[in-house]
Amino acid sequence: MLAARRADRLAALAAEIEREGRRALSVTCDVTRDGDLERAAAAARTTFGGIDVAVANAGFGVVGPVERLTLADYHRQFDTNVFGVLRTIHATLPDLRTRRGRLVIIGSVSGHLATPGSSPYSMSKFAVRSLAEALGHEVARDGVSVTHVSPGFVESEIRQVDNMGALRAEAPEPIPSWLVVSADRAARTIVRGVARRRREVVVTPLGHLAVFFQRHAPWLVSAAIRRFGVRSRAEPSRP
């Protein structure tokens, strides 16, 4: 069951899945609109009989210094990254409880530590990490597992999306290629973690290091950020 905004991408992916001998259903869906997730979940029930695994994956990053950002920037960030996750949960949790299923929340390494210029994105990802932790306790007795995923630098278009949520396909990838993990490798790591009902999955080697040191030596991470002038990526330029 595929749900996203771009119908052409959904159709292409559904066709690829079906060529592998699997069934696929795609529904255009915007996680910022009330009712879209309920409609998608209803379509999944009709076609497949229920929902065993739900993945809350929609997200983008608003970046920039706090003093230059507006409240509207923060509202826009939270509407997708936090309330979009909540809408997904509300639409699918009854099925997951009935079927003792699995909920997957895609967070970020930025939900463990924040760098200068990343406050909206990091705030949203800290929020969903705490949501995953609290909800995991709430639904454990129903046999539902909640897996929080912190990808790190994974191959995707997120770093070519500006603060308004618009794709700037011409913008260069700001992260060196040797630090970026392929989407296929990331997917395999996530699937293994979800299959094992793990509470936390960190995908990339650099992500593992960042999370480890933030948990065990936060003073060292803070000193390194300030000493070496570490900053969030810049917003992709608009033509």
Q: Which CATH number does the domain 54-227 belong to among 3.40.50.970, 3.40.50.800, 3.40.50.720, 3.30.1330.30?
A: 3.40.50.720
* pLDDT (0 to 100) of residue 237: 78
Non-local CB neighbours of 203 within 8 Å, separated by 6+ positions? 149, 150, 151, 152, 154, 181, 186, 189, 190
* CB-based contact 181:201 (threshold 8 Å): no
Single-letter amino acid, residue 175: I
pLDDT tens-place string over residues 114-124 = 999 999 999 99
What helix, strand, coil percent values describe the chain, rounded to 5?
50, 10, 35
Alpha helix (H) ranges present in 196-232? 205-216, 218-227
Provide, rounded to the nearest whole percent, the portion of the chain with pLDDT above 70. Answer: 99
Q: How confident is the model at residue 238 (pLDDT cuts 50, 70, 90)?
A: low
Q: Is 214 exposed, middle or buried (0-12, 13-18, 19+ CB in 10 A)?
A: middle
Give the domain ranges of the chain.
54-227
* pLDDT (0 to 100) of residue 230: 95
* Single pTM value for the model: 0.95
Non-local CB neighbours of 82 within 8 Å, separated by 6+ positions? 124, 127, 128, 131
Summary count for the chain: helices (H), strands (E): 8, 6
Give me the active site residues, please: 121
pLDDT tens-place string over residues 1-45 = 999 999 999 999 999 999 999 999 999 999 999 999 999 999 999
Nearest to 81 by CA among 116, 126, 45: 126
